[in-house]
């Protein structure tokens, strides 16, 4: 066997889909961390954000810790309640086939996020860096940017790189706004949303589970803001198929000469605008088509590394991961690194669980729980240890 | 000392790793996953160690023996974890080979296995550099700098970056040596890796003495370079052995 003539080994392609999702998640988190570091230094910009998440209690630094915790709990309960109500509303609308209305609403939300939130953050940046720009030019640029973004969300004829970039930008902007909430509220809210995600997807009466079952039974897309890694090529017609969440294909027993394209769907999507929260959530789903009979352990296919379909991740996951990392950045960079690794590990574990259980799974809980755990451990244990060792130039 | 200096310190500690990442690892998604898992494992090891030592810190005495115990326990724990990593890698190798058979691609080559070991070692090195050096570099992006009493020849950030560079090299290549040693059952390879780690750890103890870093850091670099040389020799030996076995013998 001559080394020069060998085929490319499996290492070149294995795990490609996971990397295609980890890259935009990492870019989103990095952007939020950079935004937080730049804009946090100037404390004159921080104004108390009054959204639905702070309606119950506004945190002040003079309260005791127990009061802060109780207030944060109240805030999160209100937020989760609103989210639940809106998700049920979405299920009802989807049941009555108001898909057009939902799509228009998605476009409208994208317009609000990109136009108003993006505009305000742009103004902050202009203030910090003293950029010389007049308001007419700025409005013109912003308007163009926003309209292209809305088109990217609406239409599928836009090049996929543009759509992906706009998804990441929407995630970054929304996540930055969430980091402006008070500290205790943010952490308790993250944990509450993770628990809500778990309940909504796995419990029999959960709204997301109903949504998924409705969409599967009708073989339709859920109208939601979802990040797609790449378009799926249909091997039968050899054309780019309209990107679908599920593909119901009859299992062809005799024509198994090539592996079927497995369509994996990952995600829970949240559609957030300033002041009001609306929820469009798509849980984590995988449809792994059996190739003939494979009773023994699936090995690498079983852990999701070998699938060749396109992975989709809902924008809500992007947003909440970035909120966690952004909040960690407000403390110190050591927590940022630890939380980043924890979230990526959680995402990997969720994908593995997805391939093992092969039913709808929520993408938030594992990552958020690991992220919060690592934040607490790093802040209270690791930092002292490392500072003590490093300041004496003692390393191992 | 401003953004440029801060970025300079980051690149000093992580520059070679970045080069290794871009050339070798970024083209193969599986190796990126190995790197991330390895970083996670070593982060967990650091957290466990810090949890254990929380009760004893901060060390108030200026005696050096508490630090000796600190270093020794940490190194022993991390070497134990390396064995765990090896077990996990063996299982993964079997699954990978079975998968390769199923999709009619060639099984793992020797170079593939060494690249996986390299990615694992790079994960260890990056975890060390990030948590011991990078996370303390935040003040260096500002307008001032910091000096330590015991080593006032250069800013603290520079010294910590230089030490981290040595450790990144040591960690990256000792993983390759260790995995090859476990695969071949070569006792000398298996034992030299913990030995290098302990020697490197104890060499940093020299920094505790006043102006000790003048002696400590060059010695540390000698250890790092000898790790590099040993790894290179071992890889060369293995590759030529495999070549000789595969070349058809002329009858």
Q: What is the DSSP string of B44-107?
A: HHHHHHHHHHTTT-S--S--SHHHHHHHHHHHHHHHHHHHHHHHHHHHHHHHHHHHHHHTT---
Let me know: does A346 contact A366? Beta carbons within 8 Å.
yes
**pLDDT-based confidence at A7, cuts 50/70/90?**
low
Question: What would the pLDDT profile of A213-227 be if each residue is shown by its tens digit?
Answer: 888 888 877 777 888
Q: Which residues pair with A264 in a beta bridge?
A: A286
Question: What would the pLDDT profile of B146-202 be if each residue is shown by its tens digit?
Answer: 888 888 888 999 999 999 999 999 999 999 999 999 998 889 888 999 999 999 998
For A381, the enclosing helix (H) or strand (E) is none
Question: Between chains, do B50 and A332 touch, taking CB under 8 Å as contact?
Answer: no
Q: CA B148 to CA B156: how far, in whole Å?
A: 6
Residue from the list A8, A338, A389 with its beta carbon closest to the beta carbon of B43: A338
**pTM: predicted TM-score of the whole model, two decimal places:** 0.84
Q: Which residues of B touch A332 (CB under 8 A)?
A: 135, 138
Let me know: does A263 contact A244? Beta carbons within 8 Å.
yes
Residue from the list A15, A332, A390 with its beta carbon closest to the beta carbon of B132: A390
Please name the residue that has the structure tokens 């950079």.
Answer: A34
**Any idea which of A31-45, B29-43, B100-114, B208-222 has the lowest mean pLDDT?**
A31-45
A80 interface with B at CB cutoff 8 Å: no
Q: Which residues of A touch B70 (CB under 8 A)?
A: 389, 394
In the prediction, which pLDDT does A300 show? 52
Q: Which residues of A touch B41 (CB under 8 A)?
A: none
CA nearest A264: which of A315, A217, A215, A230? A230
Report the relative pairing of strands A312-314 and A270-272 from DSSP bridges. unpaired
Question: The tokens of A208 are what?
Answer: 């997301």
Question: Between chains, do A299 and B99 touch, taking CB under 8 Å as contact?
Answer: yes
Residue of B nearest to A341 (CA): B40
Q: CA A354 to CA A335: how far, in whole Å?
A: 28
**d(CA A320, nearest CA chain B) in Å:** 21
Q: Which residues pair with A313 in a beta bridge?
A: A227
So what's the ipTM on this one? 0.91
Please name the residue that has the structure tokens 């690892």.
Answer: B25
Residues of A serving a catalytic function are: 197, 317
- For residue A311, give Cα distances in angstroms to A135, A286, A354, B53: 40, 9, 12, 42
User: Where do the H-state alpha helices sit in B129-186?
Assistant: 156-184
Q: How many CB atoms lie within 10 A of CB A239?
A: 8
pLDDT above 80 (res A140): yes
**pLDDT-based confidence at A54, cuts 50/70/90?**
low
The pLDDT of A77-89, averaged and rounded, is 90
Positive or negative CA dihedral for A326, A328, A333, A335?
negative
Question: Between chains, do A345 and B105 touch, taking CB under 8 Å as contact?
Answer: no
Question: What would the pLDDT profile of B203-215 be if each residue is shown by its tens digit?
Answer: 988 888 888 888 8
Let me know: does B150 contact B208? Beta carbons within 8 Å.
yes
**pLDDT-based confidence at A255, cuts 50/70/90?**
very low
A255 interface with B at CB cutoff 8 Å: no
């Amino acid at each position: 066997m001559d080394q020069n003539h060998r085929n490319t080994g499996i290492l070149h392609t294995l795990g490609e889909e996971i990397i295609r999702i980890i890259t935009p998640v990492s870019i989103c988190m990095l952007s939020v961390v950079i935004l937080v570091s730049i804009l946090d230094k100037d404390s004159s910009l921080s104004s108390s954000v009054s959204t639905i998440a702070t309606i119950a209690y506004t945190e002040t630094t003079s309260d005791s810790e127990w009061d802060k915790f109780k207030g944060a709990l109240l805030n999160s309960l209100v937020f989760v309640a609103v989210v639940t109500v809106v998700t049920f509303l979405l299920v009802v609308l989807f049941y009555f086939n108001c898909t057009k209305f939902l799509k228009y609403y998605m476009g409208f939300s994208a317009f609000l996020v990109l136009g108003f939130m993006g505009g305000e953050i742009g103004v902050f940046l202009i203030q910090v860096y003293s950029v010389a720009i007049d308001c007419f030019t700025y409005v013109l640029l912003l308007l163009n940017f926003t309209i292209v973004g809305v088109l990217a969300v609406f239409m599928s004829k836009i090049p996929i790189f543009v759509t992906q970039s706009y998804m990441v930008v929407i995630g970054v902007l929304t996540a930055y706004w969430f980091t402006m909430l008070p500290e205790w509220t943010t952490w308790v809210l993250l944990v509450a949303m993770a628990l809500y995600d778990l309940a909504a997807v796995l419990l029999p009466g959960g709204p997301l589970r109903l949504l998924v079952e409705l969409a599967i039974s009708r073989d339709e897309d859920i109208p939601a803001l979802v990040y797609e890694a790449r378009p799926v090529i249909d091997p039968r017609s050899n054309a780019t198929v309209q990107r679908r969440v599920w593909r119901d294909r009859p299992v062809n027993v005799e024509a198994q000469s090539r592996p079927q394209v497995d369509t994996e769907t990952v995600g829970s999507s949240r559609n957030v605008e300033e002041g009001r929260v609306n929820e469009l959530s798509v849980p984590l789903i995988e449809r792994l088509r059996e190739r003939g009979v494979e009773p023994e352990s699936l090995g690498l296919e079983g852990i999701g590394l070998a699938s060749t379909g396109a992975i989709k991740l809902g924008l809500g996951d992007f947003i909440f991961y970035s909120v966690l990392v952004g909040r960690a950045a407000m403390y110190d960079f050591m927590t940022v690194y630890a939380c980043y690794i924890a979230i990526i590990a959680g995402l990997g574990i969720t994908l593995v669980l997805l391939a093992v259980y092969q039913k709808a799974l929520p993408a938030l809980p594992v990552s958020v729980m690991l992220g919060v755990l690592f934040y607490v451990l790093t802040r209270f244990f690791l930092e002292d240890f490392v500072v003590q060792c490093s300041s004496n130039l003692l390393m191992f | 000392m401003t953004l440029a200096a801060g970025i300079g310190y980051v690149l000093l500690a992580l520059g070679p790793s970045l080069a290794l990442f871009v050339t070798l690892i970024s083209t193969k998604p599986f190796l990126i996953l190995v790197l991330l898992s390895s970083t996670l494992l070593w982060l967990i090891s650091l957290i466990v160690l810090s949890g254990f030592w929380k009760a004893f810190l901060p060390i108030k005495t200026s005696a050096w023996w508490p630090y000796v115990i600190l270093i020794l326990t940490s190194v022993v724990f991390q070497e134990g974890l390396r064995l765990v990593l090896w077990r996990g890698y063996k299982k993964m190798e079997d699954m990978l080979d079975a998968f390769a058979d199923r999709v009619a691609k060639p099984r793992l080559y020797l170079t593939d296995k060494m690249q996986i070991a390299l990615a694992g070692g790079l994960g260890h090195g990056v975890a060390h550099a990030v948590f011991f050096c990078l996370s303390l570099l935040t003040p260096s992006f500002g307008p001032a700098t910091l000096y330590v009493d015991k080593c006032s020849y250069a800013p603290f950030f520079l010294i910590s970056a230089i030490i981290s560079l040595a450790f990144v090299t040591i960690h990256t290549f000792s993983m390759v040596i260790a995995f090859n040693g476990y695969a071949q059952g070569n006792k000398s390879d298996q034992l030299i890796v913990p030995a290098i780690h302990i020697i490197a750890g104890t060499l940093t103890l020299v920094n505790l003495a006043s102006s000790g870093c003048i002696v400590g850091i060059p010695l540390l670099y000698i250890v790092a370079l000898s790790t590099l040389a040993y790894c290179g020799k071992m890889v060369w030996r293995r590759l030529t052995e495999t070549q000789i076995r595969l070349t058809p013998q002329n009858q």
